[in-house]
């Protein structure tokens, strides 16, 4: 059983569309991170959210941390083929990190 549940597991959209992916848990985290991973590489950190209700924007990406610090969402506006990849959320608890299974996003040109 995953500590962090990510949905959807797979998402395939056309270039220019908007999308939201979710990361949910019954646990409270001190912080939550979103990573993007491409084939053959390790995950690369996109953002860290710490405060309940926090919203962070990174160009076309908007990240939100739930008020109770148990869940998070990632919204991408006007998706591009370069956004294709595996999006992972990870919750920090007791000095270590637990990852979700990820959302595999494909953006078709």
Partner 1 sequence: GAGVSQTPSNKVTEKGKYVELRCDPISGHTALYWYRQSLGQGPEFLIYFQGTGAADDSGLPNDRFFAVRPEGSVSTLKIQRTERGDSAVYLCASSLNSYNEQFFGPGTRLTVL
Binding-site size, partner 1 (CB under 8 A): 24
10 Å CB burial of residue 9 (0-12, 13-18, 19+) is: exposed
Counting Cα atoms < 13 Å in the Cβ hemisphere of 75 gives: 9
Q: Provide the minimum distance between the beta carbon of 35 and partner 1 in the complex, in angstroms, as a whole number.
A: 8
Binding mask 47-86 toward partner 1 (x if CB under 8 A, else -) reads -x-------------------------------------x
Max Cα–Cα distance, the chain, nearest Å? 42
**H-helix or E-strand spanning residue 47:** strand 44-49
Cα–Cα distance for residue pair 97/84, rounded to 1 Å: 24
Q: Which is nearer to partner 1, 51 or 77 (CB)?
A: 51
Question: Of residues 4-43, which lie at the interface with partner 1 (CB under 8 A)?
Answer: 6, 33, 40-43
Q: Which is nearer to partner 1, 26 or 95 (CB)?
A: 95
Give contact residues for partner 1 (rule: CB under 8 A): 2, 6, 33, 40-45, 48, 86, 88, 90, 92, 94-102, 104
């Amino acid at each position: 059983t995953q500590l962090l549940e990510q949905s959807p597991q797979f998402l395939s959209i056309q270039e220019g569309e908007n999308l939201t992916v979710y990361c949910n848990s019954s646990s409270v985290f001190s912080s939550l991170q979103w990573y993007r991973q491409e084939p053959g590489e390790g995950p690369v950190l996109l953002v860290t959210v710490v405060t309940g209700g926090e919203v962070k924007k990174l160009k076309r990406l908007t990240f939100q941390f739930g008020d109770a610090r148990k869940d998070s969402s990632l919204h991408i506006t006007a998706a591009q083929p370069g956004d294709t990849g595996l999006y992972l959320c990870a919750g920090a608890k007791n000095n270590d990190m637990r990852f979700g299974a990820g959302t595999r996003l494909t953006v078709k040109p």
